[in-house]
Amino acid sequence: MNGPQRWIKKGLLFAPHENSDWLHSHAALPVVDAKDDGYRVYFSSRDQRGRAQVGFFETDAAFQSVIRVSEHPVIGLGPLGAFDDSGITTSWIVNHKNKKYHYYSGWSLGVSVPFYFFVGLAISEDGGVTYERVLPSPVLERNSVDPYLTASPCVLVEDGRWRMWYVSGTGWEMKEGRTEHRYHIKYAESDDGIRWQREGLVCIDFRFADEYAISRPCVIKDEGVYRMWYASRGSSYRIGYAESDDGLAWTRKDKESGIDVSASGWDSEMLAYPYVLKQKGVYYMLYNGNDYGKTGIGIATMDSSQKIC
């Protein structure tokens, strides 16, 4: 062990603005896709009815300035009655054989509970200009292993095997007259990125009684170690961290995540939905602050010469 991480906050990278039908509020769950001269950052924004859809902005190679914002969603709402007719939130992109596999969470409204969400998949064959759903149904539907919810997958392809870490609901509870969801992080595998095998393996579980939501895993394999950042919530979301030798058995090291809320400002109440990448000797973390992305997407950096414990 060489000490905790030390992230340096660089401030807001992108703030939502109320200047279009789809980009009315929030910029949540950033997902980064590298380009030749910079990055495309996919995110979810809400329209005037509160329905999320997926768009993007593009930045320079140092994440210092926003160059372009999409005029329209690239993944819009599903048809009426589908699992994703009430919202689409970003999750992960895999570039594989000249295709972009964009995993997302599809939302629908409930009656006995406020909502349902499940993992969907849309694929682009034109470099991300357009996306088409591979199925009208989720690729991770509810079953005996995941009887309530699935969402927010992170997917790595290793030696031809697709590996997924995803959010799985464990149930709903009534708390002070309102319904409260509970979910943690599980694991699945696939041969093609579409059909998944699930055995119910829990990777990140609850640590204390008040913790009820562990969400948005981001896994990278770095110097032979699997590293996962995620958001965990008791009273409010904070960014957690875990390590694994094989991607299956994980050790939580939340106190060593190296990033916390600011004393004031856009991320003073909440930190959520981290996305971490390593480029040219620098770790970058894109994340959300207060109110689940209502205040926008920020960025923090860490030099790779600092050994992560």
Beta strands (DSSP E) in the chain are 8-14, 25-35, 38-46, 52-59, 66-69, 87-96, 99-109, 115-124, 132-133, 150-158, 161-175, 178-190, 196-204, 213-222, 225-233, 237-244, 250-252, 272-279, 282-288, 297-303
Q: How confident is the model at residue 305 (pLDDT cuts 50, 70, 90)?
A: low
Nearest to 45 by CA among 77, 79, 78, 9: 77
Q: Return the pLDDT at 146.
A: 98
Decide: residue 76, CB within 10 A, 0-12 exposed, 13-18 middle, 19+ buried: middle
- d(Cα 258, Cα 122) in Å, to the nearest integer? 34
- d(Cα 287, Cα 297) in Å, to the nearest integer? 6
Domain containing 25 equals 8-303
Residue 308 lies in a domain: no
At 77-105, the pLDDT tens digits run 999 999 999 999 999 999 999 999 999 99
- The CATH number assigned to the domain holding 102 equals 2.115.10.20
At 219-244, the pLDDT tens digits run 999 989 999 999 999 889 999 999 99
- d(Cα 228, Cα 121) in Å, to the nearest integer? 22
**Whether pLDDT at 204 is above 80:** yes
- Average confidence (pLDDT) over 173-184: 92
Residue 3 lies in a domain: no
Residue 103 lies in a domain: yes
Number of domains in the chain: 1
Structure tokens at 71: 């005029």
Are 69 and 48 in contact by the 8 Å Cβ rule? The answer is no
Residue 283 lies in a domain: yes
Q: How confident is the model at residue 307 (pLDDT cuts 50, 70, 90)?
A: low
At 210-221, the pLDDT tens digits run 999 999 999 999
What share of the chain has pLDDT > 70, as a percent?
97
Residue 235 lies in a domain: yes
Are 202 and 186 in contact by the 8 Å Cβ rule? The answer is yes
Residue 168 lies in a domain: yes
Residue 99 lies in a domain: yes
Residue 2 lies in a domain: no
**Whether pLDDT at 255 is above 80:** yes
Q: Return the pLDDT at 3.
A: 56
Q: Is 159 left (phi over 0), alpha (psi -120 to 50) or beta?
A: left
Asked whether the whole model's pTM tops 0.85, one would answer: yes
